Amino acid sequence: MKEIAIEVKDVGKVYKLYDKPSDRIRDALGLGRKKHYTEHHALKGVDMTIRQGECVGIIGTNGSGKSTILKIITGVLTPTSGEVVVNGRISALLELGAGFNMEYNGIENIYLNGTMIGFSKKEIDEKLEEILSFADIGDYVYQPAKTYSSGMFVRLAFAVAINIDPEILIVDEALSVGDVFFQAKCYHKFEEFKKMGKTIVFVSHDLSSISKYCDRVVLLNQGVKLGEGSAKKMIDTYKQVLVGQYTAPEAEEEERLLDDEKLREMAAKGVDGSKIKKENAKTPGAAENPELLEYGSKKALITEYYVTDEKGEKTSALIKGSRFSIHMKVEMLEKITAPIFAFTIKNVRGTEITGTNTMVEKAFLESVEAGEVKEIRFTQEMNLQGGDYLLSLGVTGYEGDDFTVYHRLYDVLNVTVISDKDTVGYYDMNSVVEVK
């Protein structure tokens, strides 16, 4: 087993929040027995073990503690409780350029920043040309940093941090700096780090990048670690958190009892709620996921779903270039204003490849009554490359300004695309080639 690069043990971080400056002074001087502050727990008992060569992602909503845990790992902040052990030299892409002196020119700031990270002048000398080439800000490198545009500033800061060959790289939303060409260069460098077996801790709201690069993902919410596991599993759980429908494992039994109570209430109202407990309709040829993730308020239910080929036959295997349809049947258990019916296709790593919904397509913008059943069909051409994909379905909508999930089925069916010609990337543009 690989050596541990970073170990976070029961780490907590508490901030004191004061209503006014005088309260801060009273507390500092120890005046009075009364507390003049409220406590904000940015982190609560977080544990995390990262081994050498791993790329671990940290995701969560704003205010979940992602940046705080990175600052504690890098030594910028001290934990209120617990401890962090780091084995290896760290380069952190946190607040880019935080250590720059605005009066110094670019060259001077490279040496200043490199020294702060812990590198010798000789090591920086050896990397200088590489840093300048990566930053690509021309003769501005000889001008004071205060004359730089924001784009030049972050390019130079990023170039310093990522080119001084660290053993551990800490990245906080820093791969999206500069223009599209510089971003491509940043991601290429990131992939180089992975191939070299460097340890990487990666925080981002870009779930596609998390899915693509991370071996393992940790999910934080309001300072608490909700779980860790594969990128696909944690991203699906994160999406539940985003819409306020995450259920902690210990609460699942309680939720089941609540569902039973809801069924009784609906029965008393004369509404047929039996399909809440019914397994999703099985269809011939459909490769169903026995461990699909299902959640929602259950005001509407997806009761049937399947895929058909261009002949109308139910199947889970599609020929690349052929037309196919995704079918779903939805029962309304309550009146809903303008429900949105949607599908998404993901690859096996959990990256969303394509998808659409009835609101985007302007196909259905009406209200529906309790008891109505709607049959939805999405028909399109299969231009994805050959391979296996996962289909997700959903019924959502807006209640006032609040986005609401009524029923969502993640990775409910496996779809296999059969192809005798795969091009580069996720899908085929069906190019017409002429050579004269």
| Residue 426 falls inside a structural domain | no
Residues 302 and 376 in one domain: yes
Residue 292 has pLDDT above 80, yes or no: no
Residues 109 and 216 in one domain: yes
Residues 123 and 227 in one domain: yes
Which one of 241, 263, 294 terminates a domain? 241
Q: How confident is the model at residue 250 (pLDDT cuts 50, 70, 90)?
A: low
Q: How confident is the model at residue 153 (pLDDT cuts 50, 70, 90)?
A: confident
Q: What is the mean pLDDT of the chain?
A: 85
**What are the beta bridge partners of residue 71?**
none
Are 238 and 210 within 8 A, CB to CB? no
Work out the percent of the chain whose per-residue pLDDT is above 70: 87
The predicted structure's pLDDT at residue 284: 43
Number of domains in the chain: 2
Residues 28 and 139 in one domain: yes
| Residue 365 falls inside a structural domain | yes
| Residue 288 falls inside a structural domain | yes
Q: How confident is the model at residue 212 (pLDDT cuts 50, 70, 90)?
A: confident
Residues 106 and 55 in one domain: yes
Q: CA-CA distances (angstroms) from residue 111 to 118, 162, 174, 430? A: 11, 14, 21, 50
| Residue 378 falls inside a structural domain | yes
pLDDT tens-place string over residues 318-365: 999 999 999 999 999 999 999 999 999 999 888 899 999 999 999 998
Residues 403 and 338 in one domain: yes
* CA end-to-end span of the chain: 57
| Residue 114 falls inside a structural domain | yes
Residues 233 and 278 in one domain: no
- Domain hosting 371: range is 272-418
Residue 315 is part of a domain; what is its CATH number? 2.70.50.60
- Distance in angstroms (rounded) separating the CA atoms of residues 436 and 434: 6
Residues 199 and 160 in one domain: yes
Residues 235 and 277 in one domain: no
Residue 107 is part of a domain; what is its CATH number? 3.40.50.300
Which one of 241, 259, 288 terminates a domain? 241
Residues 11 and 156 in one domain: yes
| Residue 409 falls inside a structural domain | yes
Which one of 224, 241, 258 terminates a domain? 241
Q: Which residue has the higher pLDDT, 189 or 44?
A: 44
The predicted structure's pLDDT at residue 274: 43
pLDDT tens-place string over residues 383-409: 999 999 999 999 999 999 899 999 999
Residues 293 and 147 in one domain: no
| Residue 100 falls inside a structural domain | yes
Residues 205 and 286 in one domain: no
Angle at 284 between CA 280 and CA 290, to 5 degrees: 45
| Residue 153 falls inside a structural domain | yes
